[in-house]
Amino acid sequence: MHIDWGTLAEIAVVASAATVTVVLLVSFALLALSAPAGRRAAGRTGGGTSGLPPAAGTAVAVLCLLAAGLIVCYGLFLIIS
Q: What's the pLDDT tens digit per position in 46-58?
A: 555 556 688 888 9
Angstrom distance (rounded) from CA 63 to CA 72: 14
Radius of gyration of the chain (CA): 19
26-43: per-residue pLDDT in tens?
A: 999 999 888 655 555 555
Q: Is 1 helix (H, G, I), strand (E, B) or coil?
A: coil
Q: Cα angle vertex 57, ends 56, 63, to 5°?
A: 90
52 secondary structure, DSSP code: -
pTM of the model: 0.74
Burial class (CB in 10 A: 0-12, 13-18, 19+), 1: exposed
